[in-house]
Structure 1
Amino acid sequence: MQPRDVKTKADAKAIIEERNASQIKVGVFDIDGVLRGKYMSRSKFLSALDGGFGFCDVVLGWDSNDQLYDNVDYTGWHTAYPDAWVNIVPDSCREIPSEGNTLFFLCEFTGPAETICPRGLLRRVLERADGLGFNALAACEFEFFLFEETPKSVRDKHYQQMTSITPGFFGYSVLRSSVMAEFYNDFMHYCNAMDMPMEGFHTETGPGVLEAALAVDSALNAADKAALFKTFTKVYAQRNGMMATFMAKWSADYPGQSGHMHVSLHKKDGTSAFYDEAGGEHKMSETMRHFIGGQQALMPEFLAMIACTVNSYTRLIPGAWAPTAASWGIENRTCALRAIPGSPKSQRVEYRISAADINPYIALAAALASGLWGIENKMEPDAPIAGTAYDVEFSPERTLPATLIDAAGRLRASKAARELFGDAFVDHYAATREWEEREFRKAITDWELQRYFEII
């Protein structure tokens, strides 16, 4: 039996017996999209497969630097950090190429923790889509920089003067990919083996920056693959003497790193809900139009779920290949939403506001839920923008929050967010973003020292 043939608990037990596996690796994604997990003995795993197991709920109560939130209700010193229950997801079974006979399974929080679990959030949004008669498809594409560095060397260098794997600006370079052919081919085989295959892989503009377009799948599977891709790209890189970063923007000298999401809806009979042969020049159905209308209307309120770090907002400036308002257009890469006409199979929306730093579960939940809300409320979008969106003067309702703290406040106040995601998630997630901004405000940056140290 192959890992991706595993669909049920019985299948999971069978493959473990067949391989005589002595330990299994399990993991769950936290609020920031960081994979937290451990190895389990065979007997412990088989027991947990049937009844779940306890996982310290601190992973929902700390940030990406393991610092404890002091502003959330779900967990904290006031609850003494008990275990939260998690279920193993049998059909997430994978083989980690670098770990021989070790199998890997994703987990998902259940019980009270399920209300703030990122994977649980997306699953509930997809249940809403199912209730409306739709199946959602998605695919993520990530840009990431690679450096000839180690976790120790970047700290020794204070993240300055790092050596990228290739020099210069050289997007779509056949020269670079041919010189590094062994790396490209080995990494693509690694991703295929973990069931996170790429449809495309190429250099982007900047020293050592690559772009990987993951294959389309059902939305939950696509989120699993995207989240795992970010983690195991870092694993692969570090095991080969390199480091990868998925920051939205790591240097003022180079473009930011996108994490665009492609989404579409299909009806239960398998036909496209976005394509309409009678839909004019672009064959756009009323459903697709209302979907875009909802995404456009709610983007300012949901931005914290997409632009989720302080660093995210350094990318959202004019001329940086990133949108600056809740705009849309047909095949327009200066807009936040790019409607892509095509065949019934390919017609879709590219959600371009997102960077590579997204938590794929939370970001896809926001992109899909806002579109479903638009369908339910028959939201009409603005007229599509032709030409550059950077020259358009947008109304206040289309203007995006400029900082993470502002975005968190918009999310906290959003009635639509509370309807779509629940009060527990909105309150917890908004608090974590407010914490993130507060942590940043403690920092003294190089810019401040250079600007103020002598002169002021």
Structure 2
Amino acid sequence: MQAREVKTAEDAIRLIEARGLTHVKVGLSDIDGIMRGKYLAKDKFISALKSGFGFCNVVLGWDLNDQLYDNVQYTGWHTAYPDAMVRILPETCRELPLEQVNGQNMLFFLCEFVEEAATVCPRNLLQRVLKRAEDMGYDAYSALEYEFFMFKETPESVRAKNYQNLTPWTPGYFGYSVLRSTVESDFYHQLLKLSEDMDMSIEGLHTETGPGVLEAAIGVDEAGAAADKAFLFKTFCKVLAQRNDLMATFMAKWSHNYPGQSGHIHLSLRDRNSGKSAFYDPSQQYGMSKTQRHFMAGVQRYLPEFMSMFAATVNSYSRLVPGYWAPLDSTWSLDNRTTALRLIPGSDKSQRMEVRIGSADANPYIALSAALGAGLYGIEQQLEPEPMVVGNAYTQQFPDHLKLPNTLWEAAQRFKGSEAARVLFGDAFVDHFAATREWEEREFRRHVTDWELQRYFEII
């Protein structure tokens, strides 16, 4: 039996026994999309497969630097950080070829929080949105794309340099470069093979515009599986880079001198009864069905309110400036990369939409929940989209209600006050997530930036 053939707890136990493994690795998503996990001894793992296990709920109560949130209700010093119950997901079993034990690959399983913790768990959030789609008669499919910069650095060297004067993996602007990908083909092939081995296959990999920047398009899958693949890719791409004395960053914008890094989301729905695309209607203009039109309208309508789910860090908003391939308003158009939403016409198989607003630093579970939830709500409300943009959206003016938040603080306030968010995601998640984004903004305000020193130190 191979790892991706595992479907049940019994399958997982048989595979572990057959390989003679003494330990198994498990991982789950925190609020920021950072993978947190541990090794479990075989007996502990088998027990946990049947009845779950406790995982300190602090991972839902601290930021990406392990600093404790001071403004969330779910957990904190007031609860003394107890264990929360976690469910191991047998069907997510993966080979981990980067770890060999006695000639066998380590096995890796994803987990998710259950019971009360499920209300603020990112993966469980997406499962609830997917259940909404199912109840409406749809299966959701998605594919995520990520841009990321690579550096000839190590975790030690970037700290020694104070994150200044870093050496890119390759020099210059050279998008879609066959020269670069051939010269550096060893790493490309390692990444492609790792992605195949871990069932997060890349259907397209190329250089983007900027020194050392790549773009990887992960293959389409059922939306829950697509989010799992994106989550795994971001972690293990960085692992592989560091194994090669390189570093990959998924920051939204690591330097004002270079373009930002996106995390685009492709989405489509299929009718559960007929099996046909719910987005494709060849009798309509651009093949855009009534369902897709309502879905598009929902995402457009609620994007300003859900912005913090797509752009979740202070740095995310450094990317959202004119002229850098990032939309500034909640707009849509036909195959147009200057708008937030892109209608991609095709066939029953390929008709879809792309949400282009997200940055590479977003938690894939949360960003996909936002896009899918907003679209489903648009179908339920039978919303109609605003007029389609023609031409360069960057040079056009749009109504105020289409304006996107300019800062993380503003985005958090819009999210916290969103009735639609509370309907789709629940009060517990909305209050928790908004509070964590407020924390992130307040942490930023406590620090003095290099820009401030250079601008004010002598002159003012």
**Shorter-normalised TM range:** over 0.9
1:162 is aligned to 2:162: no
> Which of structure 1's runs of 4+ aligned residues deviate more than 2 A?
none
Match of 2:66 in 1: 66
Query: Which residue of 266, 271, 276 maps to 1:271?
Result: 276
Match of 1:127 in 2: 131
Deviations 1:50-78 (Å, cap 9, x if unpaired)? Answer: 00000000000000000000000000000
Amino acid at match of 1:276: D
CA distance in 2, matches of 1:337, 1:176: 31
CA distance in 2, matches of 1:276, 1:348: 12
Match of 2:334 in 1: 330
User: Residues 41-440 of structure 1 correspond to what in structure 2 (within 5 A)?
Assistant: 41-100=41-100, 101-268=105-272, 269-280=274-285, 282-440=286-444
Give the TM-score, by structure 1 length.
0.99
CA distance in 2, matches of 1:396, 1:425: 27
Q: Secondary structure at the match of 1:96?
A: strand
CA distance in 2, matches of 1:183, 1:28: 27
1:314 deviates by 0.6
RMSD between superposed Cα atoms in Å? 0.6
CA distance in 2, matches of 1:427, 1:110: 18
1:405 deviates by 0.3
Percentage of pairs with the same residue: 63
Amino acid at match of 1:265: L
Amino acid at match of 1:94: R
Give the TM-score, by structure 2 length.
0.98
Q: Secondary structure at the match of 2:123?
A: helix
CA distance in 2, matches of 1:405, 1:411: 10
Query: Unpaired runs of 5+ in structure 1?
Result: none
CA distance in 2, matches of 1:182, 1:411: 44
Q: Secondary structure at the match of 1:355?
A: coil
1:10 deviates by 1.1
1:14 deviates by 1.2
1:13 is aligned to 2:18: no
CA distance in 2, matches of 1:305, 1:187: 28
Amino acid at match of 1:258: S
Bigger mean CA deviation after superposition, 107-116 or 92-101: 92-101
1:383 deviates by 1.2
Amino acid at match of 2:207: T
1:392 deviates by 1.8
Q: Secondary structure at the match of 2:315?
A: helix
CA distance in 1, matches of 2:305, 2:436: 16
Q: Secondary structure at the match of 1:85?
A: strand
CA distance in 1, matches of 2:106, 2:96: 7
Question: Aligned pairs, how many?
Answer: 455
1:323 deviates by 0.2
CA distance in 2, matches of 1:386, 1:187: 38
Q: Secondary structure at the match of 1:225?
A: helix
CA distance in 1, matches of 2:178, 2:238: 24
CA distance in 2, matches of 1:432, 1:351: 24
1:303 deviates by 0.2
Query: Unpaired runs of 5+ in structure 2?
Result: none
Match of 2:24 in 1: 24
1:421 deviates by 0.2
Amino acid at match of 2:25: K
Match of 1:2 in 2: 2
Bigger mean CA deviation after superposition, 97-106 or 428-437: 97-106
Amino acid at match of 2:283: A
